[in-house]
């Protein structure tokens, strides 16, 4: 289920198959990266929202999806979204999931009132959950997905490996994949720690296209 997925850095992912090319939070994509049929943005922080990169990956037919505050900064075919919605854009069906902090020292990084999102996207006959930047918020216990991409970097921004492992055990996906570590926050070894803590959930570690920095 991970064969069509490329991890670039932080939370930047690409799905590419014979039907479409979908980017989520693109950052660190190469100059010759294939153009996007769709780009989904989770929130406004610069390690997730790179306007110049979005412009480079876009064509006249590219569809953009983003929370309302980010959507106002974009031009073209833009669909604004908020948590708890279902959409079909360009033949792609997805739902939006809340993404915010609940741990005291992170509350100002991703406030609930910003209404930033994660996405559950239907691709290739499976469901893929990209959590964005979040803690284990109570609404996430209801997420159902075949594959989960969970941030594990800890620090002032997202849940760490232990909290993310707890969420993985609640969702019980076929595969859990850690992201948002080894670059701005967290260490490259956090992926191994997450894998151990999430057992018996199957965990797969992706190798980013950009070298780890931490």
Query: Tokens standing for 20?
Result: 């479409």
Tell me the CATH architecture of domain 5-198.
4-Layer Sandwich (3.60)
- Give the whole-angstrom CA distance, residue 103 versus residue 73: 29
**What's the order of all strands across the beta sheet hosting 5-9?**
5-9, 12-16, 21-24, 38-40, 63-67, 77-81
Q: Are 26 and 210 in contact (CB under 8 A)?
A: no
pLDDT 10s digit of each residue in the chain, 214 long?
Answer: 999 999 999 999 999 999 999 999 999 999 999 999 999 999 999 999 999 999 999 999 999 999 999 999 999 999 999 999 999 999 999 999 999 999 999 999 999 999 999 999 999 999 999 999 999 999 999 999 999 999 999 999 999 999 999 999 999 999 999 999 999 999 999 999 999 999 999 999 999 999 999 9
Residue 16's Cβ-count burial label (10 Å; 0-12, 13-18, 19+) is middle
Domain ranges, ordered by start, for the chain:
5-198
Question: What integer pLDDT is reported at residue 25 of this predicted model?
Answer: 98
- Give the global pTM: 0.98
Nearest to 170 by CA among 116, 209, 131, 124: 131
């Amino acid at each position: 289920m991970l064969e069509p997925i490329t991890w670039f850095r932080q939370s930047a992912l690409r799905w590419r198959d014979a039907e479409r090319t979908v980017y989520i939070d693109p950052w660190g994509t190469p100059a010759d990266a294939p153009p996007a049929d769709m780009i989904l943005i989770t929130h406004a922080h610069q390690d997730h929202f790179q306007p110049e990169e979005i412009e480079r990956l876009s064509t006249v037919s590219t569809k953009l999806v983003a929370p309302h505050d980010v959507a106002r900064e974009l031009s073209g075919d833009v669909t604004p979204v908020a948590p708890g919605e279902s959409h079909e854009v360009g033949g792609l069906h997805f739902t939006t999931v809340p993404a915010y902090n609940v741990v005291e020292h992170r509350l100002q990084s991703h406030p609930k009132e910003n209404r930033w999102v994660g996405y559950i996207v239907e691709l290739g006959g499976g469901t893929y959950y990209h959590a964005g930047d979040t803690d284990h918020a109570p609404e996430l216990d209801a997420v159902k997905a075949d594959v989960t991409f969970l941030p594990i970097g800890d620090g002032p921004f997202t849940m760490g490996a232990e909290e993310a492992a707890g969420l993985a055990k609640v969702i019980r996906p076929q595969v859990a994949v850690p992201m948002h570590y080894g670059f701005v926050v967290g260490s490259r070894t956090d992926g191994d720690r997450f894998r151990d803590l999430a057992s018996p959930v199957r965990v797969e570690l992706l190798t980013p296209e950009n070298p780890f920095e931490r």
